[in-house]
Amino acid sequence: MNKKSDIIIVTDPGVDDATALMYAIFSNKINIKLLCIAGGNSSIENTTNNALYLMELLKYDVPVAVGLDHPLRQEKSNFAEKVHGKCGLGGVNVNVKKPSTKPIETPACDAMYETLKKSKKKLSIVAIGPMTCVAEMLEKYNDAQKYIQEVIFMGGTKEKIYGRPYKEFNISFDPDCVDVVIKSGVPLVMVPMELGHFAYLNKKDIKAVKHINKIGKLFAKMYKKYHDFHVGSYGAAVHDVCTIYYLTHPENMKIEKGHIELKYYQDEKEKFGYIDTCYDKEPNALICVDMDILRFKYDLFDAFDETNSILQIKS
């Protein structure tokens, strides 16, 4: 039996976050030791509620710690409710039925440090939302880095889009925290936005999952109101799932060593932070530049097929 990887996930659920959490749990390859909640796809209240709801639904017992309700050094940023819907889970409104579980009292940055320190081995941090709490922890605990295996993050783009830097959400929501994490020197794995577009789920894919069981129905309902305009009516981008897929199947990823740094772009309309990637400077990150989409989809749906046995659901 393959050993499971122990990880901490930073997330702002979020439709693709929810799919990533489902895949992480159903893949049978991952042990989530702690969920750290960020604001982003919706308010921190909504993303926390969504995380608690999902863990209850998936019968997964993991501490849920709440992060800051604002970026590290900026005023509140705009939430992505146009993409993920009013409450953050697309067509699923968890506010109708409040979760019975509560988050832990310990703030996310402290809970992350305690979990890292308590672990017998270094842990990977998987950031599929703004990584504010990672930066907060690195600034607050100067020995934290020695407990971290790597930070695998969904964010940025592998190249410029339409000839200019692209305002990818996780990076532009809180650029200061990205700068802190990159400059900390912690081992980094970048999963850029393009992979989630390459691997988008089409309507047939979503319909296939819908008929597996009640989890599949919820999955399909989430995607009903999820609008990633790049993929538009073709289907749904799955950015965050690709980040978990790096952990479960790195052999199906094309990975290059590159140099990443946070930069700012400004034009007459706006100024935003983005990750500049280049390959002719000292590498400081692994960059996932491509992925075997067919194997990705096979492994994702194979994991969803496991839900009946894992959750003892009668389909």
Residues binding Ca ion (CB under 5 A): 12, 14, 17, 128-129, 240
DSSP-assigned states of every residue in 96-154:
GS--S----SS-HHHHHHHHHHHSSS-EEEEESS--HHHHHHHHH-TTGGGGEEEEEEE
Q: What is the CB-side half-sphere exposure of residue 173 using CA atoms within 13 A?
A: 25
Under rule CB under 6 A, residue 240 binds ligand RIB: yes
The values of phi and psi at residue 52, to 5°, are -60, -45
Segment lying near ligand RIB (by CB under 6 A), choices 8-16, 26-34, 99-107, 297-305: 8-16
Q: CA-to-CA distance for 243 and 128, rounded, in angstroms?
A: 7
CB–CB of 113/144 below 8 Å?
Answer: yes
* Residue 80 binding partner per list ligand RIB, Ca ion, none, with a CB distance cut-off of 5 to 8 Å that depends on partner kind: ligand RIB
The 125-164 contact track toward ligand RIB, x by CB under 6 A, reads ---xx------------------------x----------
Of 193 and 212, the one with the shorter C-beta distance to Ca ion is 193
Which of 5, 22, 40, 248 touches ligand RIB (CB under 6 A)?
40
Of 58 and 154, the one with the shorter C-beta distance to ligand RIB is 154
Token reading at 168: 């990818």
CA-nearest of 137, 132, 130 to 114 is 137
Segment lying near ligand RIB (by CB under 6 A), choices 141-149, 166-174, 213-221, 256-264: 166-174
Chain contacts with ligand RIB (rule: CB under 6 A): 12, 14, 16-17, 40-41, 80, 128-129, 154, 168-170, 193, 239-240
